Structure 1
Amino acid sequence: MSGFRAWARDLGLGVRFAVTGGREAWVRTALTAVGVGLGVALLLVTTAVPSALTAREARADARTDVTFSATPPPRTDRTLVVASVDTVFHDQDIRGRLYQPEGPNAPLPPGVSAYPKPGEVLVSPALGELLKSDDGRLLRERIDAKVVGTIGDDGLIGSKELVFYKGADHLKPSAYPVERIEKFGTDQPSEALDPVLLLLTLVVFVVLLMPVGVFIATAVRFGGERRDRRLAALRLVGADARMARRVAAGEALAGALLGLVVGAGLFAVARQLAGGVELYRLSVFPQDLDPAPALALLVAVAVPAAAVGVTLFALRSVVIEPLGVVRTAKPSRRRLWWRLVLPLAGLGLLAPMIGQGNDNGDFNQWMVTAGVVLLLVGVTALLPWLVEFTVARLGGGSVSWQLAVRRLQLSSGTAARMVNGIAVAVAGAIALQMLFSGVESGYTRSTGQDVTRAHMSISVPPSAETAELAAKAERKLATTKGVTEVTPPFTRLDAGDGRADPDRSAAVTVGSCAALREVAHLPSCRDGDVFASLGAPYDTDTEKLIRPGRTLYLDPRYNGGPGKAVPWKLPSDLKRAKVREDPLGNMIGGVLITPKAFPAVSGMERHGELFVKTDKSVPNAQEYVRNAAAQTGPLVSVFTLAASKQTDRFAQLRTGLFAGASCVLLLIGVSLLVSQLEQLRERRKLLSALIAFGTRRRTLSASVFWQTAVPIALGLLLSVVVGLALGAVLLKMAGRAVTVDWASVVAMTGVGAGVVLLVTLLSLPPLLRMMRPDGLRTE
């Protein structure tokens, strides 16, 4: 018989044994299918992530309506005036727009069939639910419009995104935040990842997927001891050793194929439930989770192939004879040398890229992926040797300890397999944490904002009524709950040496003496004074432009745009002041004018600013401030000051890591529980025998705990060593100094240990049910 036909026959026979071999075979196949299915489901979710991200970006690009253009297009029946009125509610970003169509052919944003009228608003489904809830009371006051419809999925990047579109009829387009547009969407290409962010992305995917692969490899080996007895019986009826191994591979293949079906079903359920789940404020639509066909086919082929390969590899040193399997005897010592080759090869692949950083092009993706994989696979190769080496040297103690040690000495490989996944996950997490912490400073910048002087900034957009609106906002905020201090407002405009397109220009700040002291160090001040504020960085015009008696033109025209160009003569008693950073960290010099000295000319557009301190002990203090600002004017915006800020791409990557790590931890917990239950099922008769001879249940329970605790402790120790080594290499590759956040290392190690302890506790009820003498009954 040809080799291919022999393989097909024997694999087919193994599949038949798995599905027709009675209750024991079905239980083993079901356990394998569940373990493999959990891994397959997560793999399918992972293969769908690129399509989900692409769909989110495409919808975000399609609805782009803010162009930051300084010159709006001319008004036609096809134009639309749009104002950005984004807001924040309980730290959740809310996308808000005011829309004012200027004709019947004005473009419609995606997900909208008709524009809301003034006083009406369209909301996303998630925002609609929030507005109806008790928690949304303050937000209802802020939006202050009748909900008349829902924004469709095409206009949202995620199922839980908070968005509202409000009708308006008073908008005057000039520049951001009020613009005139002719269409939605943008043709601008998305920003490419820099090399270090690309490195982070690659490592995140590898670290999240490696535990999945390890658990699938573990799942196909469930029920090994009972399977070996069946293989011995098969040898007794004439099968040779190769045939027996191929039959065993066929049984694993059956479980893997059934696991593919289970995994596809779990993925289909998870896909439908995805629309109602928000993880770390990241949500997707079910239709976006569409696995790439090539990647899905790879999973469908790789999982059964891995099941066959892992089974044959596991049986390579097992002697299957007609009268038994030589596995119950003391196994030969595991060799260390080849197990060290894997992590050393991984380090060898990563070493050429050490010091590359952001300055020497992209990292070689294949070398990075292969290097990280080999290092993490090294954990799975070294752990069985470490467990065997350690337990062989453990001696006497309590009865429970001796029972556990003896069991580990007889089946150290099985114990190591149970914790391989958690060890790989912790090692990868430590390396990632080191890498994120090491490069974080490069993607976290100081904003320069002084949170000791103010907590929030209120910005009034340029208009002829800015001064009145700013004064109104000051009065409103002074009586707002949770506000402890309001700085007097100041307004700003430009001044130049010509009526249009001046050669030299300077900022003009108008405000009371108290307001001007927020932006300059004044020698003395009374209403009617004018100051030249000097010392601002990159300001070369003020010193040359500001001279006593010189005529300036306030609000000059630029590029033919609007502007009053009001002539104003600097007073002869012009005072000098030194520029000071405002709470936002801006240093803007120029001319400082108190209200009595400012010319009484209407129509000049000015930008207004004032700052607020809040009492953080008052619940919803910031929401009260935002509501007061919205009641002052729909375009009045509120900004929360912060000492530092992370770049969006880095923050998104970290959010994706947390979301993926949560899924992997869930998989780890469930798979460990399934594996633990399978191990207990195989030991049921042994446990019953010990109970029948008088062993206390407490002793057996403690024994099971030690059988789990010892491999876990060794696995976590190994994962810390490998994780620190991998993290150090990755930091060197990124061109950063090697630092270790020991608190994070201890925390992640504790999380890994906590998952195992939780699984152990959950397995106690079935363990207690199995510890009965009647478990010895058989047919």
Structure 2
Amino acid sequence: MTGPAPAPARAGRLRRWAAEVALGARLALTGGREGLLRTALTAVGVGLGVAVLLLSVSVPVMLDARSDRTAARDDDRWGGDDVTPGDTTVLTLNISTSYRGQGIRGRLVRPDGEHPVLPPGVRALPPRGTMLVSPALRDLLASPEGALLRDRMPGKVSGTIGKAGLAGPSELAYYAVRDDLAFGQPQVQRIDGYGSRGVQDPLDPFLLMLVVVIFVVLLMPVAMFVAAATRFGGEQRDRRLAAVRLVGADGGMTRRIAAGEAVVSATLGLLVGGLFFLAGRQFVEMFEVARLSVYRTDVRPPLPLLALLVVSVPLAALAMSLVALRRVVVEPLGVVRRAAARTRRRLWWRLLTPVAGVALLVPLTGRRGDFNPWQAVAGVSLVLLGVALLLPWVFDRVVGRLGAAGGLSWQMAVRRLQLSGGSSVRAVGAIAVAAAGTIALQMLFAAAEAEYTKDTGQDTTRVQAVTTVTMSGLSAVTDTAGLDARLKAAGATSVSTYRREMLHQGEDVYVEIAVADCTVLRELAELDRCADGDAFLLERPELAGQEVTTGEQFEHAWTVPAGARTAKARPGPYGRADIGLLVTPSVAPAPRAEPAFVSYVGLTPGDPDAEERLRNAGMAINPTMDVTVLRSRAVDTTFAGIRRGLFAGATVTLLLVGLSLLVGTVEQLRERRRTLAALVAFGTRRSTMGWSVLWQTLVPVALGLLLATALGLGLGGLLLATVDVPFHADLAGIAVVCGIAGGVVLLVTAASLPALWRLMRPDGLRFE
């Protein structure tokens, strides 16, 4: 019976193992030009992936920082108690607008005392007739692009708003002082401080599932790229390990040397990734993604996730290195790969991962409003990981059966894939995972498109905009004629304005009244005849001749004309009929002290600035005027933001995946440079070599896409069942995904051709 090894023996073994690992580390750093090039290639590859992962895990911190700043400047106090005026209180009016699709946050303020509270980012209120603006708005106003917007602004620029008062560096915002603001005017509030808790409504379950899947789909290929990058230069490393065997190293020592080399390369990759991340962060304020911008100080990964990344990348490199060595016999004077017949990849354990993912997702089906997002993350991740695990098995089965038929370039490509296709599969794995996830996302988005993109019912053929305004002390005009004149002067092709009143009778009878001449009333109802003094009931005909109340607080008595005739309402521009009573001016109730007017406005078709001139006119008439440009279709704003974020993230992921494939292709060419040079020396055409490279890239990608389509459709069906939506395959989306992947293959092949031509020179036959 053998007892445990003595403590000195164990200590000696640990020291020996540490020395062997240290030898691997030294080989990575001092292994000659080729060794250093391989280490640098791995470090850059891992660094790129790590930089993207650091950026990705920083997204929640970025959004929280934006949310904190917007909550700190919040001045919405509707529904709260009235604030007593004092030395620090201010009156504020929200006059936000938009300009060519960009939102502009605007506020008019008037201090009640000498020491008014100030919003974040503002040291002092601007002088009368001037305004404080965000740096982005300042630059826009100073550019030719902002010439039309300058007419809408309440004054000249006298200063800028600080970072603390802006959601991001690209936000357009301004503050201006207006002395004629008064409490009681429409939309004017009195506040004694800024800030709120920033509580947001929970995300719709369907949109939450979209966000979950998007993050998994975008990050899985990046993680796979990092893992694949740790194996760059694998064949050359195996040959060097054979040289180590020649001087007496056994199998265990060889593995420990390889582990030391892999961990050092991955650690260098972490450092390079950190440098890439810090360098890229300096330029983040120059870009706007999905209409969101952040300050560089917002881009910081959470410490727990940062620690996890620092630990997991070297461990992943170690695991990849040891797993790869299991399929290679390293012997002195060479590397002998195991025969395919004796190393057939097993299928059963590869199926465990996607089966486990399906098992996690199936219990979530039919629970549209109640599911655990972390369970969904785990399920989707396991199914997508199954694509990467099943691809090598499918590759071996298919490529092993490819015959010798075909042209010379095809035969060369097939033979190369049969001998050493592992590196090709590793590079293509990220594309397959991205394709499977994208197909599932396409199915989700097709369902979401129908749910969150709807016809508005607005009739854009009659008029193109509707304005609504309540006249007050801020108004430049006070009647229909003045309003029409201002709007027509702004370029409106037609204007139909009516005064809006409201009548009340009994407990629950409220009817909207439109007061206008007959020309305008015919826009609101089908009238056979009309003259001044007429009235028309579009609903509740029993009100004719009855006494009702009107006014701001329904304080004025008024009698509905007894001769009011019934008429059929015409749907308004919004697609519905809201008005119940039409009256001409001579029989109308007395106007309120602050009357409200609605205008139907026609705009010149094809004039992109017509909307902006209308908004300029609205700001001049009354800063509270609401200008609504009609749209036949509307997209939910949250859904639209998620879609823009997906496109931005997919672009980064696609670039990284394409780079991974390119680096893998160039790596294979470098390791075969003597073979390539020899083939050319024997008369092989360059075009044949180029086609061979294309086939070597295309075959693994095609197999990966077939597998990705099958698993992507299954995953998409499960996700649709999770949000209780019937299965529907988005064939057009699948075709687009496959087309993009094919385009990536062509671009990678074209980008690798210069390296191929260079490696086919006669000096490639030289070998030391």
Into which bin does the TM-score normalised by the smaller protein fall? over 0.9
- Pick which of 159-168 and 614-623 moved more: 614-623
Contact 2:220-2:433 at 8 Å conserved across structures:
yes
Shift of 1:176: 5.5
SS at match of 2:712: helix
Instruction: Confirm or deny that 1:528 pairs with 2:539.
Output: no
Rounded Cα–Cα distance in structure 2 between residues aligned with 1:227 and 1:418: 18
Rounded Cα–Cα distance in structure 1 between residues aligned with 2:388 and 2:91: 61
Contact 1:11-1:249 at 8 Å conserved across structures:
yes
Alignment of 1:244-393 (within 5 A): 244-327=254-337, 330=340, 332-358=343-369, 361=370, 363-393=371-401
Q: 1:63 aligns with which of 73, 78, 84?
A: 73
Identity %: 48
What residue in structure 2 maps to residue 15 of structure 1?
25
Contact 1:69-1:179 at 8 Å conserved across structures:
no
Shift of 1:130: 1.2
Contact 2:477-2:621 at 8 Å conserved across structures:
no
Contact 1:460-1:466 at 8 Å conserved across structures:
no
Shift of 1:112: 1.0
Alignment of 1:159-170 (within 5 A): 159-170=169-180
Contact 1:469-1:632 at 8 Å conserved across structures:
no
Shift of 1:440: 3.4
Change (3 A) 1:235 1:188: closer
Q: 2:432 aligns with which of 412, 423, 426?
A: 423
Contact 2:441-2:716 at 8 Å conserved across structures:
yes
SS at match of 1:506: strand
Q: 1:744 aligns with which of 730, 733, 745?
A: 733
Contact 1:37-1:261 at 8 Å conserved across structures:
yes
Shift of 1:410: 0.7
> Deviation digits for residues 616-647 of structure 1, max 9, x if unmatched?
32242222222232333333231122234333
Q: 1:81 aligns with which of 91, 98, 109?
A: 91
| RMSD of aligned residue pairs (Cα, Å) | 2.3
Rounded Cα–Cα distance in structure 2 between residues aligned with 1:494 and 1:100: 31
Shift of 1:713: 1.6
Rounded Cα–Cα distance in structure 1 between residues aligned with 2:19 and 2:378: 36
SS at match of 1:686: helix
Instruction: Confirm or deny that 1:436 pairs with 2:426.
Output: no
What residue in structure 2 maps to residue 411 of structure 1?
420
Alignment of 1:287-686 (within 5 A): 287-327=297-337, 330=340, 332-358=343-369, 361=370, 363-394=371-402, 395-463=404-472, 468=478, 470-481=480-491, 483-486=492-495, 488-497=496-505, 504-534=509-539, 546-548=543-545, 550-557=546-553, 565-599=555-589, 604-686=593-675
SS at match of 2:189: strand
Shift of 1:675: 2.4
Rounded Cα–Cα distance in structure 2 between residues aligned with 1:420 and 1:144: 57
Shift of 1:228: 0.9
Change (3 A) 1:63 1:685: same
Q: Aligned AA for 1:506?
A: V
Contact 1:125-1:151 at 8 Å conserved across structures:
yes
Rounded Cα–Cα distance in structure 1 between residues aligned with 2:450 and 2:113: 49
SS at match of 1:260: helix
Rounded Cα–Cα distance in structure 2 between residues aligned with 1:70 and 1:582: 34
Q: Aligned AA for 2:412?
A: L
Contact 1:519-1:588 at 8 Å conserved across structures:
no
Change (3 A) 1:344 1:633: same
Q: TM-score, normalised to structure 1's length?
A: 0.92
Rounded Cα–Cα distance in structure 2 between residues aligned with 1:387 and 1:519: 69
What residue in structure 2 maps to residue 774 of structure 1?
763
> Deviation digits for residues 42-87 of structure 1, max 9, x if unmatched?
1111121111111111111111123334975343332222222222
Shift of 1:387: 2.1
SS at match of 2:357: helix
Shift of 1:349: 1.6
Shift of 1:289: 0.9
Gaps of 5+ in 2: 1-8
Rounded Cα–Cα distance in structure 1 between residues aligned with 2:622 and 2:451: 38
Change (3 A) 1:530 1:467: farther
Q: Aligned AA for 1:338?
A: W
Contact 1:39-1:216 at 8 Å conserved across structures:
yes
Contact 1:62-1:110 at 8 Å conserved across structures:
yes
Rounded Cα–Cα distance in structure 2 between residues aligned with 1:20 and 1:726: 47
Instruction: Confirm or deny that 1:218 pairs with 2:207.
Output: no
Shift of 1:220: 0.5
Rounded Cα–Cα distance in structure 2 between residues aligned with 1:677 and 1:54: 41
Rounded Cα–Cα distance in structure 2 between residues aligned with 1:607 and 1:66: 23
Contact 1:466-1:605 at 8 Å conserved across structures:
no
Instruction: Confirm or deny that 1:185 pairs with 2:175.
Output: no
Gaps of 5+ in 1: 535-541, 558-562
Contact 2:242-2:333 at 8 Å conserved across structures:
yes
Q: Aligned AA for 1:345?
A: A
Change (3 A) 1:352 1:71: closer
- Pick which of 321-330 and 651-660 moved more: 321-330
Shift of 1:459: 1.9
Change (3 A) 1:648 1:144: same
- Count of aligned pairs between the two proteins: 755
Q: Aligned AA for 2:450?
A: S
Rounded Cα–Cα distance in structure 2 between residues aligned with 1:125 and 1:469: 38
SS at match of 1:694: coil
Instruction: Confirm or deny that 1:91 pairs with 2:96.
Output: no
Instruction: Confirm or deny that 1:693 pairs with 2:703.
Output: no
Rounded Cα–Cα distance in structure 2 between residues aligned with 1:261 and 1:762: 28
Contact 2:547-2:558 at 8 Å conserved across structures:
yes
Alignment of 1:198-213 (within 5 A): 198-213=208-223
Q: Aligned AA for 2:433?
A: V
Shift of 1:117: 3.1
Rounded Cα–Cα distance in structure 2 between residues aligned with 1:43 and 1:450: 47
SS at match of 1:166: strand
Rounded Cα–Cα distance in structure 2 between residues aligned with 1:520 and 1:106: 51
Rounded Cα–Cα distance in structure 1 between residues aligned with 2:752 and 2:173: 45
SS at match of 1:489: strand
SS at match of 1:459: strand
SS at match of 1:490: strand
Instruction: Confirm or deny that 1:759 pairs with 2:764.
Output: no
Shift of 1:175: 6.5
Contact 2:466-2:601 at 8 Å conserved across structures:
yes
SS at match of 1:142: coil
> Deviation digits for residues 491-536 of structure 1, max 9, x if unmatched?
21333359xxx765432222222333344444532222223331xx
Shift of 1:185: 1.6
Q: TM-score, normalised to structure 2's length?
A: 0.93
Rounded Cα–Cα distance in structure 1 between residues aligned with 2:385 and 2:348: 15
